[in-house]
Amino acid sequence: MTSKLAFVGRFLAAFALLIAVGWATNGPARYAALLQEAATISSPVLTGWWLETRPGRQGPELWFRHTEGELRLLLSLESLALGLLPLLALLSATPGLGLRRFGANVTIGCAAFFALDLLVVLLYPILVSNPNTGTDVTGTFLSAVTDITGFFLGLLTFVGGPVIIWFVLTFDQLRSIWRLDPAEMVKGRGQKSKVKG
């Protein structure tokens, strides 16, 4: 129980520190600029949609342009960067990681999360632009599928993505710490029975 409370304490402390560092270094804006550049280069090749910056009422806006039309990107790229906070905080709170392993996990984790965010941005015009937006059954069904898929991708990016990446990267440590290894579970049960006896 104590180790779990220590883990939560380390996680919250790392999370608060990362917020301060991100604010001081303007990290989310830098991440958003890198993500925009990657999407601008890869989107025309992979999806056929061109991503471009246009002046807007409240500052620059991102628009997808295609031969069939155009679509404004309503996702905030800086908000997508916030998913790195729980990922890095979870890695920082995980005990048993040496400095070298921690550095490797941070590098791999950030790259994997960036790839996930890039995938969400690239899929955005495909999911949101629906040619069948009429009142027929097909249009209603496709609209519902679009809404559900978009919600799932948002949930995956902000919640599921950081936890899944962290779990995959630190599974070896988690197995021994929280007794996910079958041998450790049997050993733990044996110790409990001895205490009761």
The residue ranges of every structural domain in the chain are 2-196
Which runs of E-coded beta strand occur in 4-79? 50-56, 59-66, 69-72
Q: What share of the chain is helix, strand, coil (3-state, %, to 5)?
A: 75, 10, 15
Q: How confident is the model at residue 95 (pLDDT cuts 50, 70, 90)?
A: confident
Q: What is the pTM of this model?
A: 0.76
Percent pLDDT > 70 in the chain is 73
Average pLDDT of span 55-78: 86
Residue 137 predicted with pLDDT over 60: no
Q: How far is CA 118 from CA 8, 31, 94, 159, 166, in A?
A: 30, 11, 27, 16, 19
Q: What is the pLDDT of residues 3-48, one digit of tens each?
A: 778 888 999 999 999 999 999 999 999 999 999 999 999 999 999 9
Residue 96 predicted with pLDDT over 70: yes
Longest dimension (CA), the chain: 76
> Where is pLDDT greater, at 53 or 146?
53
Tell me what pLDDT residue 146 has.
57
